[in-house]
Amino acid sequence: MTDYLLLLVGTVLVNNFVLVNFLGLCPFMGVSSRTETAIGMSFATTFVMTLSSLLSYIVNSYILAPLGLEYLTTMTFILVIAVVVQFTEMVVHKTSANLYRLLGIFLPLITTNCAVLGVALLNNREQHGFFESIVYGFGAAVGFSLVLIMFSAMREKLANADVPSPFKGSAIAMITAGLMSLAFMGFTGLVKF
């Protein structure tokens, strides 16, 4: 149990996918201009990441590994992720038209969110078990959501701030992201691996 908790905290804070591993930066910059959209994106990504890490573990350890086809992992994982994203898109379209409209193009773009593929591949590399894979995928998604929502809240404040003209727009967003990354370095050493 402690192992799982440590893995979760470690993935959410210490090895944060966005700010420490620099994965999934596209939605991090793209969907963070409004908090409402960021929250929607977070939920969609959390769902996709957890499900795809679980599915890719199953596919990898029960289909690819016994047949000695590990060299196909990347290709298969991309397939798995694409399917999960398509499925999520259908469910969101059916259940919440408003959220579907807010997420717009970013929902199908979860497919190309490298953090999702990153989770699946890192699970494979670190030889995570069934539950570890789920915890790792969920932790990565929670870390992504946490950072995305905090960043979008800051960007909403920044929209009203008196920023010097050379730093307006994307420039100040990049600087903010950099400062957040520095702040997250403070978590290093919180969990000993």
Partner 1 sequence: MSTLIAILVLGAIAASFGALLGFASVRFKVEGDPLAEQLDALLPQTQCGQCGYPGCKPYAEAVANGEAINKCAPGGEDTIKKIADLMGVEVQPLDENHATDNTPKVAFIIEEDCIGCTKCIQACPVDAIIGTTKQMHTIIADECTGCDLCVAPCPVDCIEMIPVATTTQNWQWDLNSIPVVQID
Would you tell me which residues interact with partner 1 (CB under 8 A)?
Answer: 59, 63-64, 67-69, 72, 75-76, 79-80, 83, 86-87, 90-91, 93-94, 97-98, 101
Q: Which is nearer to partner 1, 91 or 190 (CB)?
A: 91
Smallest gap from Cβ 76 to partner 1, in A, equals 6
Tokens encoding 84: 């999960």
Q: Which is nearer to partner 1, 156 or 180 (CB)?
A: 156
Angle 35-59/73-95 helices, nearest 10 degrees?
140
Residue 188: φ, ψ to 5°: -55, 130
Q: Which is nearer to partner 1, 3 or 70 (CB)?
A: 70
Smallest gap from Cβ 97 to partner 1, in A, equals 4
Query: How far from 167 is each of 23, 94, 155, 171, CA to CA, in Å?
Result: 24, 41, 13, 5
How far apart, in whole angstroms, are the C-alpha atoms of residue 158 and residue 45? 25
Q: Which is nearer to partner 1, 63 or 185 (CB)?
A: 63
Smallest gap from Cβ 82 to partner 1, in A, equals 8
Residue from 52, 47, 76, 51 nearest 145 by CA: 47
